[in-house]
């Protein structure tokens, strides 16, 4: 296979598979995209994981535990996809904990109350779904297949969050205030999840040509805003944007200017939780090292024992 | 942490039979110390929601695969062997069930 065959495959909307010829840039971009996505899932376990022991009922604990386990699973599906391109899982983890590869800026915000768990499910996972559904048609086969599995599971995540919030909204005045406060804090960071505006996203054109990105950042952001407005209404909360209103001419909601300097700050490592998130991941890696080594030593010993038995008893 | 890339565990490919009567289908890969651990990890990772009734795990380095460049030798349609296809044989419409 060569460049011509690669281009023809993309043009026919068929998938590129790991052993096909591909341009170096495509391979590098795919590894970076998949690794950053995998890192986001793994780091994304922390904000909600912090609430597992403090969830208010056994049912909510079980739900949260299942959800955080799913995030771990999503990370592993994605590392698996990255490995088909010759990336090495251990190396990718090292890049993450040394700060050489990024993860989604959203996980650098703190989860202050239990309402944050609900709002993360509703808004953060909702934004993730907006981003991910088109990626089920990514031109890179293993990534597209991982995304299909992930999207099926994300739907549970979003619904449990919204249901949690509905329950709190039926509660006391203090609980309703807690939900509104969480919405106020998470709304703008959720909009930033779609990345910089199209005018400042220089790689978008190439990614669209390679069909590893199907819509621009601003298109997806608009879709998310339009989806969220009626959901906020049904819930009885106010989205914290005085400029948010329906534009009959565009048939979309207009919304206020996003504070892009905040996104830049958080991405470059200066968000409220960046240091703690990475420190936790680093510690988990270090604390788990002896387990990984012991398991490998045990497996090697068993392999030797089996080989010896085979030698002693010739077939 | 040492700076070197140290590979803890080998890579395994995972195949899941979705339900009785279907083939096992490749679903992805994972890292494990040995086959037994690979099976357990596969259960946790790929069958959390009734996705299967049976799992195979195979060491990735034991898989031998055809390459994309083998396409002609392996998969080119055998245009000169039309007699392999049922439509090659003319049977009158009046003959039933054939």
Residues A9-67 have pLDDT tens digits of 999 999 999 999 999 999 999 999 999 999 999 999 999 999 999 999 999 999 999 99
pLDDT above 70 (res A277): yes
If you average pLDDT over residues B81-88, what whole number do you get?
Answer: 87
Which H or E run includes B25?
A: strand B24-31
| pLDDT at residue B53 in the model | 95
pLDDT above 50 (res B2): no
DSSP B49-92: SS--SEEEEEEGGG-----GGGHHHHHS--TT-GGGSGGGS---
pLDDT tens sequence across A216-242:
999 999 999 999 999 999 999 999 999
* Cβ-contact B5, A88 below 8 angstroms: yes
Minimum-distance CB partner of A296 among B8, B30, B45: B8
| pLDDT at residue B8 in the model | 76
Asked if A91's CB is within 8 angstroms of B9's CB, the reply is no
Minimum-distance CB partner of A83 among B11, B48, B65: B11
- Taking the Cβ of residue B69 and every Cβ of chain A, the question of whether any pair is shorter than 8 Å is answered with yes
Asked if B8's CB is within 8 angstroms of A293's CB, the reply is yes
- Taking the Cβ of residue B53 and every Cβ of chain A, the question of whether any pair is shorter than 8 Å is answered with no
pLDDT above 50 (res A290): yes
Cβ neighbours for A98, distance < 8 A, ≥ 6 positions apart: none
- Taking the Cβ of residue B31 and every Cβ of chain A, the question of whether any pair is shorter than 8 Å is answered with yes
Task: Return the higher-pLDDT residue of A213 and A1.
Answer: A213
In whole angstroms, give the CA distance from residue A260 to residue A188. Answer: 10
Nearest residue on chain B to A302, judged by CA atoms? B34
* Cβ-contact A110, A47 below 8 angstroms: yes
CA A59 to chain B, closest CA, distance in angstroms equals 18
pLDDT tens sequence across A191-214:
999 999 999 988 899 999 999 999
Q: Residue A246, SS3?
A: strand
User: Residue A254 — pLDDT band, cuts 50, 70, 90?
Assistant: very high
Which H or E run includes A66?
A: helix A58-83
Cβ neighbours for A242, distance < 8 A, ≥ 6 positions apart: A256
Question: DSSP E strands: which ranges in chain A?
Answer: 245-247, 252-254
Of A92, A132, A103, the residue nearest A267 (C-alpha): A103
- Which chain B residues have a beta carbon less than 8 Å from that of A20? 68
* Cβ-contact A78, A38 below 8 angstroms: yes
For helices A173-192 and A217-235, give the axis angle rounded to 10 degrees: 170
Q: Residue A274, SS3?
A: helix
User: Residue B4 — pLDDT band, cuts 50, 70, 90?
Assistant: very low
- Which chain A residues have a beta carbon less than 8 Å from that of B29? 80, 83-84
Minimum-distance CB partner of B45 among A21, A76, A292: A76
ipTM (interface pTM):
0.89
Alpha-carbon Rg for chain B, nearest whole angstrom, is 22
If you average pLDDT over residues A230-256, what whole number do you get?
Answer: 98
CA B93 to chain A, closest CA, distance in angstroms equals 39
Which H or E run includes A182?
A: helix A173-192
pLDDT tens sequence across A27-38:
999 999 999 999
* Cβ-contact A253, A224 below 8 angstroms: no
| pLDDT at residue B6 in the model | 53
Asked if B9's CB is within 8 angstroms of A21's CB, the reply is no
pTM of the model: 0.92
Please state the separation of Cα A253 from the chain's center in Å: 25
- Taking the Cβ of residue A283 and every Cβ of chain B, the question of whether any pair is shorter than 8 Å is answered with no
Average pLDDT of the residues of chain A? 95
User: Residue A1 — pLDDT band, cuts 50, 70, 90?
Assistant: low
pLDDT tens sequence across A96-149:
999 999 999 999 999 999 999 999 999 999 999 999 999 999 999 999 999 999
If you average pLDDT over residues B77-84, what whole number do you get?
Answer: 78
Strand A252-254 and strand B11-17: the pairing is: unpaired
What Cα–Cα distance (Å) separates residue A56 from each residue in A49, A89, A131, A182? Answer: 14, 36, 31, 17
pLDDT above 60 (res A172): yes
């Amino acid at each position: 296979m060569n460049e011509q065959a690669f281009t023809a495959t993309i043009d026919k909307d068929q998938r590129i598979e790991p052993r096909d010829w591909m341009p170096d840039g495509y391979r590098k971009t795919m590894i970076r995209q998949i690794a950053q996505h995998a890192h986001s899932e793994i780091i994304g376990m922390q904000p909600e994981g912090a609430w597992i022991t403090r969830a208010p009922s056994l049912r909510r604990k079980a739900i949260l535990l299942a959800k955080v386990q799913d995030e771990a699973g999503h990370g592993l599906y994605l590392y698996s996809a990255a490995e088909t391109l010759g990336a090495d899982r251990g190396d990718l983890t090292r890049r993450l904990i040394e700060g050489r590869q990024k993860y989604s800026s959203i996980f650098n915000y703190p989860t202050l109350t239990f309402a944050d768990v609900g709002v993360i499910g509703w808004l953060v996972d909702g934004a993730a779904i907006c981003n991910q559904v088109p990626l089920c048609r990514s031109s890179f086969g293993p990534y597209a297949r991982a995304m299909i599995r992930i999207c099926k599971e994300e739907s549970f995540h979003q619904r449990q969050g919204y249901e949690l919030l509905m329950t709190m909204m039926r509660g006391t005045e203090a609980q309703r205030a807690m939900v509104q406060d969480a919405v106020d804090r998470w709304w703008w960071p959720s909009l930033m999840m779609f990345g910089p505006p199209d005018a400042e996203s220089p790689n978008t054109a190439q990614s669209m040509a390679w069909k590893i990105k199907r819509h621009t950042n601003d298109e997806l952001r608009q879709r998310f805003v339009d989806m969220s407005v009626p959901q906020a209404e049904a819930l009885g909360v106010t989205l914290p944007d005085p400029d948010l209103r329906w534009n009959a001419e565009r048939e979309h909601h207009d919304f206020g200017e996003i504070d892009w300097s905040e996104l830049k700050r958080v991405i470059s490592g200066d968000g409220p939780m960046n240091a703690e998130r990475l420190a936790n991941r680093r510690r988990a890696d270090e604390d788990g090292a002896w387990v990984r080594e012991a398991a490998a030593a045990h497996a090697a010993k068993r392999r030797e024992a089996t080989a010896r038995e085979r030698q002693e008893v010739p077939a | 942490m040492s700076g070197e890339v140290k590979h803890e565990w080998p890579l395994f490919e995972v195949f899941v039979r979705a339900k009785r009567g279907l083939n096992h289908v490749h679903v992805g890969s994972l890292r494990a110390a040995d086959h037994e651990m690979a099976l357990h990890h596969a259960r946790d990772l790929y069958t959390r929601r009734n996705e299967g009734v049976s799992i195979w795990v195979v060491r990735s380095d034991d898989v031998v695969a055809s390459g994309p460049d083998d396409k002609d030798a392996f998969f080119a349609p055998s245009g000169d062997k039309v007699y392999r296809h049922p439509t090659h044989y003319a049977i009158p419409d009046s003959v039933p069930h054939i």
